[in-house]
A and B are shown apart, each in its own frame.
Chain A
């Protein structure tokens, strides 16, 4: 990473030279909880509201047997509430089981709530990287780091819930020097 590029790029400017490869498991950024909940609320509102509205209208105006009305009027809202609540709780569960670590070997990512996994990508296997940011992520100052390998199952390894500066500094560390390249 040359200095000139750092000046030119408004995003790629880590605030302080933090040692990235410290070999310590780091939890995801605390803001990931808020981000996850915000996504849950947005999803619930955009998906559930039309469903609820449609179910309510059908239950109210269509000529249907009583039990169908009951399902539409009570069952569907209950389902929506349960799913909304699950989505709201989920980020905390995810956060608890997710972490990442950088050391001389490369990147280690831990994640998953029921199906837990730990993925290691050696630095020398990284083909290219993305740092992406959706509108909600940007609002919370978060970013997602995507690491691409030549592999099959793990052709792309994602680390969500990083602060943007952190994602950039990890990226710069991972693809920093050409020591390992032997293409």
Chain B
């Protein structure tokens, strides 16, 4: 192995220019097609000269080398950058060879660590020898790691890492019956999806006339009743009545469609824990299956809307992240709907050591309620000023609309916040009407942030967030903490994150 700086293959310039030209291809072709005479050659040169210069600049300033443990990539002349990527962090080596590459015996290499969507390093283009060398280095690093595994397991570092669970065969964690699916359809409104699809279908099939015929015979008497009203008052009342009826019918139809959607799409939903994998499958017509390696779970969220509460149900989602290039990040249902009482068993199985049943939640700062109420009032006051243009009554209405409910909302939200530092997981709870509980293992925490806004400072509060892989949705981001409590939580999270090892 040599540790001297290397350059890309000289053909890189060609591929760089070709790559740049691709984005100009269509306008260039149009231009060539429509311009007469020899001027197009001039224009083509005008395009390609600066592009070539960029290609040459990139080629001349791009250097890389293979050190003992890492690949080093140096780029730029004015804005210089030195990137270091350890071999054992590389999850995927993508080697792209299109016909041009094959013809010229080079390859476009992309190295991915699985962290982002973009490859972490791109070597475009290298000769065949260099490609084999990278592969060898990465595989050697992996093998070295595998050899060192027993000692790593013995070290306290490996603590908190999911031990290879005792395989007890398949365990069905969730199985949804039609009754559950009906409730799901009623709670989660998927009806509009169906209506959208149906409208599209009707439009396509041109069966609009056919459908309206029978419907019209129901609607017409109602409209006649409105038209034949004897006085303005009865007319207004009838309009309201017909409108309300129409809305109710629409609402009912949408919910029925939602139930139908749930029955078709989620028919026979099962979640099975098999060894180290979670497998789900569902669907009546198209069966959708997915597999989640248990150790790829980054964050589990239990959600509950007011309707969920009415039916004593919750829904459970999971955020996963993977090392492989495809499907590296996704959010999936562990249970689209679940009896509230069954959530505990599911969580216990999916996140060993976690529990939601007897959590000793630490509440938000006692001033959180007052602060939320004041924030509401402040927004109301701000919006009331432009409303003055419409008259003092409008301004007052805006003010009242924000201040009257703010008291209840503020209390609900403040009481909704809670966090818990468990043995292996951090848990965060939020919301009043729409409630969420998010659970993240310390071993999946990538970074910890303690933040303090100008408003926080006034109230002597801070927020603490634990960043995990796996993208959007609910996160562990705990607001309205007293500064001392925030410091404690931050210290705990940093210590626990640092002493656990992260595995994809």
A-side contacts of B83, CB under 8 Å: 128-130
A-side contacts of B120, CB under 8 Å: 127-128, 148
The answer to whether B446 and A150 have CB atoms under 8 Å apart is: yes
Chain A 124-183 residues near chain B, CB threshold 8 A: 124-125, 127-135, 138, 148-155, 157, 171, 175, 178-183
The answer to whether B78 and A119 have CB atoms under 8 Å apart is: no
A-B contact pairs, 13 of them (CB 8 A): A4-B3, A114-B454, A120-B448, A120-B490, A122-B498, A125-B502, A128-B115, A130-B84, A150-B321, A150-B504, A178-B69, A182-B502, A183-B91
Bound CA–CA A174/B314 (angstroms): 42
Option from B4, B69, B82, B495 in Cβ contact (under 8 Å) with A105: B495
B-side contacts of A135, CB under 8 Å: 78-79
Contact of A120 with B497 at beta-carbon distance under 8 Å, contacts A127-B115, A152-B472, A183-B503 already known: yes
The answer to whether A122 and B467 have CB atoms under 8 Å apart is: no
A-side contacts of B472, CB under 8 Å: 152
Bound CA–CA A118/B490 (angstroms): 9
A46 within 8 A of B: no
CB distance from B492 to the nearest CB of A (A): 11
Chain A 1-47 residues near chain B, CB threshold 8 A: 1-2, 4-5, 8-9, 11-12
Bound CA–CA A170/B85 (angstroms): 15
Number of chain B residues whose Cβ lies closer than 8 Å to a Cβ of chain A: 67
A-side contacts of B447, CB under 8 Å: 119-122, 125, 149, 151, 153-154, 157
The answer to whether B82 and A152 have CB atoms under 8 Å apart is: no
Contact of A182 with B503 at beta-carbon distance under 8 Å, contacts A115-B454, A122-B497, A171-B84 already known: yes
Chain B 305-338 residues near chain A, CB threshold 8 A: 321, 323
Chain A 72-119 residues near chain B, CB threshold 8 A: 104-106, 108, 112, 114-119
Closest A residue, CB atoms, query B493 = A120
The answer to whether B145 and A125 have CB atoms under 8 Å apart is: no
CB distance from B133 to the nearest CB of A (A): 16
The answer to whether A183 and B323 have CB atoms under 8 Å apart is: yes
B35 within 8 A of A: no
* Most chain A CB atoms below 10 A, which of B80, B447, B475, B490: B447
Chain B 438-495 residues near chain A, CB threshold 8 A: 445-454, 465, 467-472, 475, 490, 493-495
The answer to whether A179 and B468 have CB atoms under 8 Å apart is: no
The answer to whether A106 and B451 have CB atoms under 8 Å apart is: no
Interface string of B418-455 (1 = CB under 8 A from A): 00000000000000000000000000011111111110
A-side contacts of B490, CB under 8 Å: 118, 120
Closest B residue, CB atoms, query A168 = B82
Contact of A116 with B470 at beta-carbon distance under 8 Å, contacts A105-B498, A128-B120 already known: no
B-side contacts of A125, CB under 8 Å: 445-447, 497, 502
Contact of A131 with B152 at beta-carbon distance under 8 Å, contacts A119-B449, A153-B467, A175-B70 already known: no
With A104-B498, A118-B449 already in contact, 5 other A-B pairs whose C-beta atoms are closer than 8 Å: A120-B493, A120-B498, A125-B502, A128-B83, A134-B78
Chain B 70-86 residues near chain A, CB threshold 8 A: 70, 72, 76, 78-86
The answer to whether A116 and B452 have CB atoms under 8 Å apart is: yes
Bound CA–CA A154/B78 (angstroms): 27
A-side contacts of B446, CB under 8 Å: 121, 125, 149-152, 154
B65 within 8 A of A: yes
A-side contacts of B3, CB under 8 Å: 2, 4-5, 8
Bound CA–CA A133/B81 (angstroms): 6
* Most chain B CB atoms below 10 A, which of A116, A151, A180: A151
The answer to whether B452 and A181 have CB atoms under 8 Å apart is: no
B170 within 8 A of A: no
Chain B 129-155 residues near chain A, CB threshold 8 A: 145, 148, 152, 155
CB distance from B81 to the nearest CB of A (A): 4
Closest B residue, CB atoms, query A144 = B81
A-side contacts of B69, CB under 8 Å: 2, 178
B-side contacts of A183, CB under 8 Å: 88-89, 91, 145, 323, 503-504
A-side contacts of B116, CB under 8 Å: 148, 155
B-side contacts of A180, CB under 8 Å: 157, 501
